[in-house]
A = this chain, B = another copy of it.
Amino acid sequence: MEMVEYEDAGDAVRAVYDDIMATRGVGWINNFWKALAHHPPTLARTWAGLKEVMAPDGALDPLTKEMVYIAVSVAQGCDYCIASHTAAARKAGMTDAQQGELMAVIGMAAETNRLAQGLRVPVDPAFEAR
């Protein structure tokens, strides 16, 4: 799919691109948004959602959010998302040691997930209590 470049974009798309660059303090748009721009309502809705969810003033700090994002992306097999959010996590301060542990936790979770599913382990009553 051809990417929608800023100079070829209509006003609605440019407004989103401008907000992305302003919010992130960068001067370029990554391919994800340029691909979404073929359907401006999806571009606008997705950016608004992402901006709200990843806002820096929440109950979780930005690095934790990026690591959770990576975990989902790995478990769902999205190569683009792994690449982009690993870059974002690095920018948010993820160290080599943190990345190593992140991967270790993701791998361990993947393994125990499959063991629990394969053995059809019933949920303990203590975990149901809420």
Which residues in A have some Cβ–Cβ distance to B below 8 Å? 1-2, 28, 30-32, 35-36, 38-39, 41-42, 45-46, 49-50, 52-54, 58-60, 64-65, 67-87, 95-124, 126-128, 130
Chain B residue nearest to A77 in the complex (CB): B77
Asked if residues B38 and A79 are in contact (CB atoms below 8 Å), the reply is no
A124: which B residues are within 8 A, CB to CB? 30-31, 83-84
Expressed in whole angstroms, the minimum distance between the Cβ of A123 and any Cβ of chain B is 5
CA A102 – CA B59 in complex, angstroms? 9
A-B contact pairs, 30 of them (CB 8 A): A1-B119, A1-B130, A2-B130, A31-B123, A31-B124, A32-B115, A35-B121, A36-B119, A38-B99, A41-B52, A41-B104, A42-B107, A42-B115, A49-B108, A49-B111, A59-B95, A59-B97, A68-B105, A68-B109, A73-B109, A74-B114, A76-B77, A76-B110, A79-B117, A80-B117, A81-B109, A81-B112, A83-B124, A83-B127, A107-B112
Taking a contact as CB atoms closer than 8 A, the residue among B41, B54, B65, B111 that contacts A111 in the complex is: B111
CA A67 – CA B76 in complex, angstroms? 16
